[in-house]
Amino acid sequence: MLNFVAALLMVSGQKIRKVRNVLQNRTAVSLLSIFMTCVAIFMMTGALYFRNEVTITDGNNTYKVYTTQTNPEKIISEQGITLTGLDYYSFNGFEGNTANLSITRSHMITITADGRSIELEAYTGETVGEILHRAGIELEHNDIVSHALYEKITGTAAINITRAFGITLRIEGVTLSIPVRPDGATTVGDILDREGIELGENDVVTANLNSVAYPGMQATVSTTRYIERVEEVFIPYETLEKCTKLLAIGAFEVVKEGTKGVEHVTFRDLVVDGEVIASEIVSTKVISPSTDKEMLVGRALAEPISKRVFPEIELVDGRPVNYEFMLSGRSTAYTASPTCGTASGRKLEVGTVAVDPNRIPYGSLLYIVTQDGRIVYGAAVAADTGGFIHNTDVVVDVYMGLTSTNIDDARNWGVKNVDVYVISTGNY
């Protein structure tokens, strides 16, 4: 009985130990499971707290990576990204734990111009104009480019440049070199329109206006034009000469200066190939008239002492041409005081003379000049008398003025041989 009990207790102890081991094993598995779950959660969510998220755009590919790196070059290296040629990246830094890293790839561009082709590495998104500028290729007006200059190149491409060509155009004596767009459609008429050359009804062009322009083409435009122009023309003034017996021959005195007038003259020119071959006046319009110049021209042999002027006296070569008679002989001179009168009662003034009234009546109009013509007393009126009975060879005694001022003039006169022309007798 005791052995049975002991055996039963032994068996029970073994079961208890097995149960204990099972429980222990289950606890370990549970703890391991909990640990692995935590690790998985950490792997799935822990990066939000302990790692950086970077969105990488490489060409058409965009994807996200997690990294502990903050340097873009280390991120690129970590992700096994290779940059070659003109490839470059853009990185603006992290905001929180996120950032964007963009990679721009380069590509080869073939440019054909001026009979040669070159290959140039270009950036993705670079415009055609930027590529040509970097290649040192300058475009001329009317050149044709296979792509728009603002177009962005995103992959390999060929840019072809067709250069403009020139034609020779001769018009109105001038030779022009005209650039033409090489589109195979530009006509001679298009070129004339573009250059602002309007053809008149009489103009002739050696080339057909509808002909398509080609390199080396030559054309001549023969033009006929009627052109009106206005010129400002000066109107000359006339010089009016009036003879005077108060100036010597060859002497003159300007009484009034002349002024030129102005008129606008409209001409109509016939112009053939740029050369005026005929011109006619269409109209004139006086803007300001001219004024004549007036001058006195001497007719005396010398400037006369007497300044009296009588229209009846006409001189030719310094001597009267119309007179009643002439007396030649000696002449004397005298002066007088302001209170003196004349024998005839006429006013005493330079231009009155003393005579023998039996030979020359009072009131006679005279013209007196020395016989050698060097001195001219001039026009005078017979108004006074003197001692002619004792000096029968003296034909006239000329009055020189007041004694107080003109005595020397009388003395200088002295006695001179004169010709006395009697223009008319007793009328003055």
Distance CA 261, CA 126 (A): 72
Fold of 165-222: Ubiquitin-like (UB roll) (3.10.20)
Domains 227-295 and 304-424 share a fold: no
Q: The tokens of 347 are what?
A: 């006013």
Buried b (16+ CB within 10 A) or exposed e, 206-232: ebeeeeebeeebebebebeeeeeeeee
Q: Determine the pLDDT at residue 373.
A: 94
Handedness of CA 186, 187, 189, 191 (dihedral sign): positive
CATH 2.40.40.10 fits 304-424, yes or no: yes
Distance CA 281, CA 284 (A): 8
Instruction: Give how far the C-alpha of residue 399 lies from the chain's centroid of Cα atoms, to the nearest Å.
Output: 73
Closest Cα partner for 52 from 80, 38, 26, 71? 71
User: Does this model's pTM top 0.75?
Assistant: no
Distance CA 386, CA 333 (A): 11
Q: Where are the domains of the chain?
A: 52-104, 106-162, 165-222, 227-295, 304-424
Q: Are 270 and 169 in contact (CB under 8 A)?
A: no
Distance CA 310, CA 393 (A): 28
In the DSSP assignment, the letter for residue 91 is: E
- pLDDT, averaged in runs of 10, over the chain (428 residues): 45 51 54 57 48 88 93 91 86 92 87 89 86 90 90 85 90 87 90 88 88 91 90 94 92 94 95 90 95 94 96 95 95 92 93 94 97 96 81 88 95 96 94
Q: Are 97 and 46 in contact (CB under 8 A)?
A: no
Class of domain 227-295: mainly beta
Q: The tokens of 304 are what?
A: 């006369």
Amino acid identity, position 213: A
What CATH number should be reported for the domain whose range is 106-162? 3.10.20.90
Q: Determine the pLDDT at residue 338.
A: 84
Q: Determine the pLDDT at residue 410.
A: 95
Q: Determine the pLDDT at residue 58.
A: 85
